[in-house]
Structure 1
């Protein structure tokens, strides 16, 4: 469940920003069935941050309040644009999240992911697919047909490798600590079919805004993990504005048709 994402207060009252609001929203979402919580920690002025003085107190507040599911932190350029700065921040953390999100479209992703794993933090490797996103499989004639991994992603063409090619070239293959989080621009089953030759790590699918609910339905049909939350979408499946993360999670569970947390991470 994406608790707040990169959103600001101007995007509505459903977006939790302060630590107390984030804690309250997380507790309600977990009560509604969320199996994980992803948060973008922020400074008092609202800027995303990976500083241990921001990340640590927030994680402690959540755990101290009884948020019992795994907690994940986004470790992207929105919080620290400089790759070396991100490494420095992560290595200085005194309180560790259970997982961290690393965007393989961003510079320094491989080294950042290794640093997190070395600290005992599991990694969600985010790869965008579809539309104009890097690493698009739909544009690859060999995708899903047994073609060599990395085809159609910039690998072997002299172009800068795309996010998927970078992930495939990354040597770490630990299903217990690595999860591939694929951001789909649309709920295209062909994109998911093209993922079948990927390394045997857990797969999570998610979309943003108009793609969020169609991709969640696709994930449920495919048996993949899924994600929803204010950080990804501000409306319910019927188009009504969501009042909270808990309301989004409850709607996701209804779509999944099961008491488990499919669609509610």
Structure 2
């Protein structure tokens, strides 16, 4: 059961006082999140001005810094169209990531299937030796995914709910998971929400045994809607009733599942390398 920490997202550097932007800040927050139980990271690297970037140098700098702080922990990045709307220009910039050294190349990258040209972006990532997280936002994304000839090569499918209301977000998660299940595509699912739906979807994912993620990309508030003030600052997860414990890295998937099964069902967490117990 994987709990991924999404450290910054597309938020402006001024959106939250704890938002990590520089490689050094990303590394510091990644280390704190890993110590608290995160088994992977998703980040949006920035350029010298603090703007989101797909440039090879900026991607490499962020990945190297995080890898040095958290050796062996997978690091992923975004390929969002808003950063560079021209599909061919974006594809060319991503293709250049293949020139990065192994310690600077991302392990995976997310691709939003609702964006124009997504299949060429995904193909480019696979050709560069970078895993693809297929981002499913809407029901119509599901047939797009299964019609892609390389769908079975995806690292995982991201079930990404859009509703800001908790109940509606959980219903969206159910709808998308059911639609994906009906296709027969055998790829891991990671389920997460956004803003007001983030915590409810995290709880839903944990309850139903899916990988999940949380962090300042998805929400800047605790479940009580109080801005996060504890370390890790970029992961609004910890509180007096919810302590996250890392499962020993030597455990296999079955051992991790058993550990999570013994956790308090009322506690919120993600799935695959973490278990949570009441403090």
Q: Which TM-score band applies after superposition, normalised by the shorter structure? A: 0.7 to 0.9
User: 2:9, 2:216 within 8 Å by CA — same for their partners in 1?
Assistant: yes
Per the alignment, residue 119 of structure 2 pairs with 110
User: 1:30, 1:246 within 8 Å by CA — same for their partners in 2?
Assistant: no
Per the alignment, residue 147 of structure 2 pairs with 169
Q: Residues 89 and 62 from structure 1, CA distance in 2 versus in 1: closer, same or farther, beyond 3 angstroms?
A: same
Aligned CA-pair RMSD: 2.3
Greater than 6 Å deviation, 4+ residue runs:
none
Per the alignment, residue 248 of structure 2 pairs with none
Partner SS state of residue 119, structure 2: helix
Determine which of 172, 179, 185 is the counterpart of 1:194.
Answer: 179
Shift of 1:54: 0.8
Shift of 1:15: 1.0
Per the alignment, residue 233 of structure 1 pairs with 219
Determine which of 42, 45, 49 is the counterpart of 2:49.
Answer: 45
Q: Residues 99 and 259 from structure 1, CA distance in 2 versus in 1: closer, same or farther, beyond 3 angstroms?
A: closer
What are the within-5 Å matches in structure 2 for residues 61-76 of structure 1?
Answer: 61-76=65-80
User: 2:193, 2:199 within 8 Å by CA — same for their partners in 1?
Assistant: yes
Shift of 1:261: 2.9
Per the alignment, residue 192 of structure 2 pairs with 206
Q: Residues 190 and 64 from structure 1, CA distance in 2 versus in 1: closer, same or farther, beyond 3 angstroms?
A: closer
Extract unaligned runs of 5+ from structure 1: 130-134, 136-152, 154-162
Question: How many matched pairs?
Answer: 231
User: 2:7, 2:234 within 8 Å by CA — same for their partners in 1?
Assistant: yes
